[in-house]
A and B are shown apart, each in its own frame.
Chain A
């Protein structure tokens, strides 16, 4: 019985004893594939772990080059949680040695949105201005060519608040809680509106409770205390809904994976609240496929005759839910979606934004970018936001969430 098999998974598991030194994880690591700065997940994980003591810094700093994609954990034939082990090692390093202002800043997406959205025209001028980006790179270490998305002029939540309020909260069978995450709130509110439209079209009212960033950027940067504050704030709100039977749905496979797994696997928040929220959380495409299996999905999709390169992001693959977007694309007449069969786009949340990692992120994603460009398609699709931004900025091909493609298809149908 390996840890991944355990019906009732316990966290945090010490799983490195399961390592048989077969090196399979090293063969699939996209970072080790392109740089020798990161020797590979086996050396960092099961082997490095022997030298680590709780509360002390990891003796080898190279673990910080891990991008956290999680492919090693999935490839391991004996169930060792390699990526999780390495992320914890990074966190203990950050806890003892500290980290840069840059890492603290780009992890704090709620703060960035609070500052950026009210002055969106100005902030976006800065994001588009080469000189200012160059200065940002020199002063802060944020790669001038890193895939930063422009701020929305209005947050998703401010749009949501202006919708007519529902007098009675709908019952759990007929409603879902929408976890919009910071990307939808501050950068891509249109995606949030499409998600609401699709959920409502399929008979589900949408509840948008007050929420904060899921905390994943802090987790990826080893800032566990800050991540725990975000996690606790979200759990305090979401656990109550979860217990009352509401499903929690998100468009970001990164945020939803944090709710499902990382709060428990990395932040040691393995209490009843965290378990209730994990059990209630759904990726939106996962939920739509479930509705379809139950015969409840509105399948009146309008034709969208085109080739669509689709990249299933690493975080989605860590959900263990297959590729639900591919199932949904198959319902759209004329749409020919092609799985990228590429491991990782390289962005890995904030990784590709860091000046010293930008090139690594580009090299990791190169095969994907080549495929997307070679497809000749004018649109690509991907479920996680920073991956979309990475693909779009590296290929020039507009990259959208599967939900946006489906919403468009519904509109085509409606237009007759």
Chain B
């Protein structure tokens, strides 16, 4: 008798979302993560790409479930809002430009509320003030402002300026990172003094203020509201180098939800062994301190990410392998993996596992593949990674819930 209804392998956006959806549907679910990563490295916004165009592209994951992006996104944003992490934007919104930490512009449609004021359009006469923090070397406001002034930015700000604020006490820290600043902002006393110093550093004028994404972690909503009020201007956070504070907020909200819905969660141990019987998987084993942990289930969801996430491994001899089940990987030939321009679309991005309409890879009956592992997407250059993750996770939850009347064994077995 399997211990779990479903075991989800991977704890990024796709894996956590699938785990939550399954737990909410009444399944006994175990989410096994190897380490943290995806969420902590990303900007916290939701990039879905051009759903309509990509849905027409043969072989793209959206060709199978592009229609699921809207509903999945709506559910995801409702979940985050309930967790005190509101987002702005809805499925179908046209992407607008928002400034980056180095003074570039990127298109975004769905952003955390704390980042949303960076979106176009800007009112006539409204300027942008890029605010840096003294000693914080991940964001250089002067450089960002100078670069932004050179951008083609329709409906952008009338003027871009920069300022640097000195914050109290931080000279005592070994190394000032976004994480440490965010934790300091969680402290009401320090925050009050810091915001007063920021206000004193502001030049006269009508500004929207872009500042590094450091406005609190556990008490982010409170910090953001207070900052907006004290500074008396629209403010927006700009994500900087990893670790990403908006990404940590996202991860924590999802983990809390997963546990509250009754899901089990473990991180720190990858899958090292798979038990099979003919065309289905009986159990996976995660590495443990001495013996492995056997996770038997009727269904398995593979959400280990692509090459960056560690789900795929590429070796110098040109082999790309899927690391948990050894599934067949679809990839361009090695000579075409990369192009010289590092910022161009890289063919290697499209490597992944090909699935059928029910998200199943060839040859295995009870494994569903979701997220960046799916073949045919370029999750970075097409900016579709979050959309694919959320939509495939929701599709997997629907497929599994429709198939199984969950044994409703809330207990270990019976």
| Interface residues in chain A, defined as those with a beta carbon under 8 Å from any beta carbon in chain B | 2, 4-5, 7, 22-24, 26-28, 33, 36, 39-40, 43, 73-79, 257, 260-261, 278-279, 281, 289, 292-293, 295, 317-323, 326-328, 330-331, 339, 341, 367
Residue numbers in A under 8 Å from B310 (CB-CB)? 77-78
A39 touches B289 (CB 8 A): no
Majority-rule SS of A interface residues? helix
How many residues belonging to B are interface residues under a CB distance threshold of 8 Å?
A: 44
Residue numbers in B under 8 Å from A40 (CB-CB)? 175
A77-B34, A78-B35 given; A4·B177 CB < 8 A: no
Interface set, chain B 177-214, CB cutoff 8 A to A: 177, 179-180, 183
Name the distance in Å between A140's Cβ and chain B's nearest Cβ.
29
A318 touches B289 (CB 8 A): yes
A188-B310 Cα distance, complex, nearest whole Å? 44
A24 touches B40 (CB 8 A): yes
Name the distance in Å between B176's Cβ and chain A's nearest Cβ.
10
Name the distance in Å between B101's Cβ and chain A's nearest Cβ.
15
Selected contact of A43 from candidates B36, B175, B242, B266, CB within 8 Å: B175
A341 touches B255 (CB 8 A): yes
Interface set, chain B 249-275, CB cutoff 8 A to A: 255-256, 259, 264, 266-270, 272-273
Name the distance in Å between B159's Cβ and chain A's nearest Cβ.
34
B293 touches A289 (CB 8 A): no
A76-B172 Cα distance, complex, nearest whole Å? 27
A320 touches B243 (CB 8 A): no
Count A/B pairs, Cβ under 8 Å. Answer: 122
Question: Is B41 part of the contact surface with A, judged by Cβ < 8 Å?
Answer: yes
A330 touches B266 (CB 8 A): no
The stretch among B85-93, B160-168, B405-413 that forms the contact with chain A is: B405-413
A250-B309 Cα distance, complex, nearest whole Å? 36
Selected contact of A74 from candidates B35, B173, B248, CB within 8 Å: B35
Chain A residue with the shortest CB-CB distance to B267: A74
A24-B40, A330-B412 given; A36·B183 CB < 8 A: no
| Interface residues in chain B, defined as those with a beta carbon under 8 Å from any beta carbon in chain A | 3, 30, 34-37, 40-41, 172-175, 177, 179-180, 183, 218, 242-243, 248, 255-256, 259, 264, 266-270, 272-273, 286-293, 310, 410-413
Selected contact of B256 from candidates A43, A77, A318, A341, CB within 8 Å: A341
Residue numbers in A under 8 Å from B413 (CB-CB)? 292-293, 295
Residue numbers in B under 8 Å from A33 (CB-CB)? 183
B36 touches A26 (CB 8 A): no
The winner among B34, B242, B273 for most chain A CB atoms within 10 A is B34
Chain A residue with the shortest CB-CB distance to B32: A322
Chain B residue with the shortest CB-CB distance to A328: B412
Residue numbers in B under 8 Å from A7 (CB-CB)? 272-273
A367-B252 Cα distance, complex, nearest whole Å? 14
Chain A residue with the shortest CB-CB distance to B308: A77
Residue numbers in A under 8 Å from B273 (CB-CB)? 7
Residue numbers in B under 8 Å from A279 (CB-CB)? 290-291
Chain A residue with the shortest CB-CB distance to B291: A279
A39-B173 Cα distance, complex, nearest whole Å? 8
A320 touches B288 (CB 8 A): yes
B290 touches A75 (CB 8 A): no
A74-B269 Cα distance, complex, nearest whole Å? 7
Closest 3 A/B residue pairs (Cβ): A74-B268, A320-B288, A77-B35
B412 touches A289 (CB 8 A): yes
A23-B243, A43-B174 given; A76·B289 CB < 8 A: no
26 contacts between A and B (CB under 8 A): A4-B269, A4-B287, A5-B270, A22-B40, A22-B243, A23-B40, A24-B37, A24-B40, A24-B243, A26-B177, A27-B36, A27-B243, A36-B173, A36-B174, A36-B180, A39-B174, A40-B175, A74-B269, A79-B35, A257-B289, A261-B290, A292-B413, A317-B268, A318-B289, A341-B256, A367-B218
